[in-house]
Amino acid sequence: MLGLVAAALILAGFVLFLVKFATADGDFTLTSRGKPKRDEVEGKVVWITGASRGIGEILANQFTSLGAKVILSARNTVELERVKSEIISKYPASRVEVLPMDLASGEESLKESVYKAESLFSSAGVDYMVHNAAFERPKRKALDETEEGLQATMNINVLGTITLTRLLAPYMLKRGRGHFVVVSSAAGKCPSPGQALYSASKHALNGYFHTLRSELCQKGIKVTIVCPGPIETSKTSETSSSGKSRSLEKRVSAERCAELIIVAATHGLKEAWVSYQPVLFVMYLVQYMPTIGYWFMDQIGANRLDAAASKRSAYSWSLLFGHKKSA
Ligand SMILES: NC(=O)c1ccc[n+]([C@@H]2O[C@H](COP(=O)([O-])OP(=O)(O)OC[C@H]3O[C@@H](n4cnc5c(N)ncnc54)[C@H](OP(=O)(O)O)[C@@H]3O)[C@@H](O)[C@H]2O)c1
C-alpha cells in the first residue's frame, strides 16, 4: 500500500514537472527567482544600448519603474527622444538621458561615448551596462551570406560591444563595482539554421563575457548573459510571417523578456534563458546532451531554411518532419 502511494506521488511529481517544463518561459533557475529585486537597481545608473525600440525600449521603461537612472543609446536620436519623453510622461520623477551612439563607429568615438556616460548624473558613473543592441539580417543560408553582412554583424554585435566593454570596465574597476548585462540569444547557445552570422556573433559574445567574468569577478565586476529565444516585439509583429505561421509561433512577450532579464541581473545569475518550447527544450538538449542536441538540429536545419524562405514558422515542432529541400 505504502509502495503504491509512493509510486503515485512520484508519478504526480513527474507529471507536474512535465507540465511546468511544457509551459515554462525560461530556464528553471531563472523562473524560480520571482520578481526583480528593486533595491539592486534603485538609484543606480543603467546604460542601455539598442534603447530606441524593441526589448531595449521596454528594458528602459522597466528599469526606470524600479527607480534606476537610465541612459538611452542607439543611432536614431529622434526615436531615443521619443522613448525618453514617453518614459518621463509615465514616470515624471524619472531621470533619463539620451546618448546617441553607433557601435560600429570605432574606438575613438566609443571612448567619447563612455566618457559622456560616465559624466552624466553628476558623474555618478555607470553601474549597469546593458548590451542589448544588435544587428540581424533576414534568415538565409550560411553560404549565401555576403562579406558586407559579415562585417556589419561582427562590427556591431561583437567588435563594438567588446570595445565598449574594454573602455568602460576600467572605470568600474576603479569604483570596485559594475555589472555587464548581455542580451545574447538562444542562437548563441545552439545552431541556428538560417542565422549563421548572427549565431556566430552571439556565441562570440557568450565566450567573451563568460571569460571576462572569470577574470574580473573577484574585483567587483558581475556579468549576466541572457539568451532569449523568439520574442514578440513590434518588429516581429510587423514581419512577413503569415497569420497561420504566427499562430504556431509561440513567442515570449517583450515585456516578460525584459522583466526576466532584470530578474536575472538583479538576482546575480551568470546565465539565463528566456523562451517557450520548443526552443527551450532544444537549449537544454544542446547544453546537457550535446550529441543528441546536435543530431536533433541536423534533422531540423534544412527544413528551417525552407520554412524561412516560404515565411512559415521557424520555431515549430513541425520542422522535424517533411523533406529537406535545402540540404
Ligand atoms: N527579438 C527577438 O526575437 C530576439 C531573440 C533573441 C535575442 N534577441 C536579442 O535581443 C536584443 C534586442 O532585440 P530586438 O528584437 O529588440 O532588436 P531590434 O528591435 O532590432 O532593435 C535593435 C536595437 O539596436 C540598435 N542598433 C542597431 N544597430 C546599432 C548600432 N550600429 N549602434 C547602436 N545601436 C544599434 C537599434 O537602434 P538604431 O537603429 O536606432 O541604432 C535598436 O535600438 C538583441 O541583442 C537581439 O539579438 C532578440
% of the chain residues with pLDDT over 90: 85
CA of 83 to the centre of ligand 1 (A): 15
What would the pLDDT profile of 91-148 be if each residue is shown by its tens digit? 999 999 999 999 999 999 999 999 999 999 999 999 999 999 999 999 999 999 999 9
Rounded Cα distance between 150 and 169, Å, is 27
Rounded Cα distance between 54 and 135, Å, is 13
CA of 196 to the centre of ligand 1 (A): 17
CB of 275 closer than 6 A to ligand 1?
Answer: no
% of the chain residues with pLDDT over 70: 94
Domains of the chain with bracketed CATH: 21-277 (3.40.50.720)
CB of 154 closer than 6 A to ligand 1?
Answer: no
Name which residue sits closest to atom 23 of ligand 1, judged by CA.
Answer: 50
CA of 157 to the centre of ligand 1 (A): 9
Whole-model pTM: value is 0.95
Does the pLDDT at position 323 exceed 80?
A: no
Directed axis angle between helix 54-65 and helix 77-90, to 10°?
30
Alpha carbons within 13 angstroms on the beta-carbon side of residue 129 total 27
Name which residue sits closest to atom 42 of ligand 1, judged by CA.
Answer: 50
How much is the pLDDT for 240? 44
How much is the pLDDT for 78? 98
How much is the pLDDT for 238? 58
CB of 303 closer than 6 A to ligand 1?
Answer: no
Q: Is the Cα torsion angle 296, 302, 305, 309 positive or negative in sign?
A: negative
Does the pLDDT at position 241 exceed 60?
A: no
Confidence of residue 310 (pLDDT cuts 50, 70, 90): confident
What would the pLDDT profile of 190-216 be if each residue is shown by its tens digit? 999 999 999 999 999 999 999 999 999
Q: What is the mean pLDDT of the chain?
A: 94
The catalytic residue positions are: 198
Rounded Cα distance between 117 and 276, Å, is 35
Rounded Cα distance between 236 and 230, Å, is 9
